[in-house]
Amino acid sequence: MKIGLIGLGIMGKPMAKNLLKAGYDLAVSDLNRSAVEEAVAAGAKSASNAEIGADCGVVLTMLPNSPQVKAVMLGEDGVAVHMKPGSTLIDMSSIDPMVSKEIASELEKKGIEMLDAPVSGGEPKAIDGTLSFMVGGKREVFDRHKEILGAMGASVVHCGGVGAGNTTKLANQIIVACNIQALSEAMTLAKMAGVDPQLVFQAIRGGLAGSTVMESKAPMMLEGNDRPGFKIDLHIKDLNNALDCAHSVGAPVPMTAQVQEVFQWLHSHGCGGDDHSSIIKYYRMLTGLESL
């Protein structure tokens, strides 16, 4: 089966390499030619979006947000124009679930199946192939394509119909953001109370407060390392989608709104490209602390 992947950014490029390692016949497309060339050097074929639509039974997209996915798939001369009935779109982007449903509805008119399959894990897990996939769509379509996603992830879970994958991803991003903010507050409290935050981390990591978020982000905060595994600007995008979705269904999300304001402050102060663990910088600003 020939697979096409559109989008070779921070996540898409290592995901392409893992598909190649698994032996898939892969065509790739991206506006960044150097990313395409790197994927080609790893064994992929370069192709236009139209060629991917026409030649590939499965089209994967890994794009920044809802407008880009809609434009690529449904825009003038979009990929959907060239896809054949019976082919499948697997959108791995993190977008508004309402947009996933809209795209799926248009594709259904052409006899094209769709899964929304956003991921969690950031660049490190994209590189080592241990991403978590949250997938929405028909069960039989999921079953046919689970192996492809398994080449890039350690966890591939069917969450319901189209849109369920992105709804699950939004829930994930809310939990991650609120955990990072709580961790920042706790480490700041420890520092200002005269207790070594490193020792606090060691003491509580094995208890109920311990989490994957803490294991990943506490060391970065303690080291002052803001190199992005997941950028603040990307988390802002996800939380905007979460807030839009919540407003459309009437769900109360006050904590999400609060942490989004902190992220927006950081963006306005030049930190949008930093890792989302840089929420700690907001607390350093409030307190005058130079470091943990």
Largest CA distance in the chain: 65
Tell me if 83 sits within 8 A of 52, measured CB to CB: no
DSSP string, 182-213: HHHHHHHHHHHTT--HHHHHHHHTTSTT--HH
Give the strand pairing for 58-61 and 119-120: unpaired
3-class secondary structure, 281: helix
SS3 114: strand
Give dist(CA 270, CA 240) in Å, integer: 19
Assigned token pair, 11: 């996540």
Residue 225: DSSP 8-state: -
**Spatial distance between the Cα atoms of 263 and 271, rounded to a whole number of angstroms:** 9
Contact of 145 with 227, CB cutoff 8 Å: no
d(CA 143, CA 128): 23
For the chain, state the CA radius of gyration.
Answer: 20
Contact, 97 vs 163, CB < 8 A?
Answer: yes
Q: How many CA atoms lie within 13 A of 9 on its CB side?
A: 14
- Catalogue the active-site residues: 169
**Hey, what amino acid is at 262?**
V
Distance, in Å, from the CA atom of 126 to the CA atom of 21, rounded to the nearest integer, reads 13
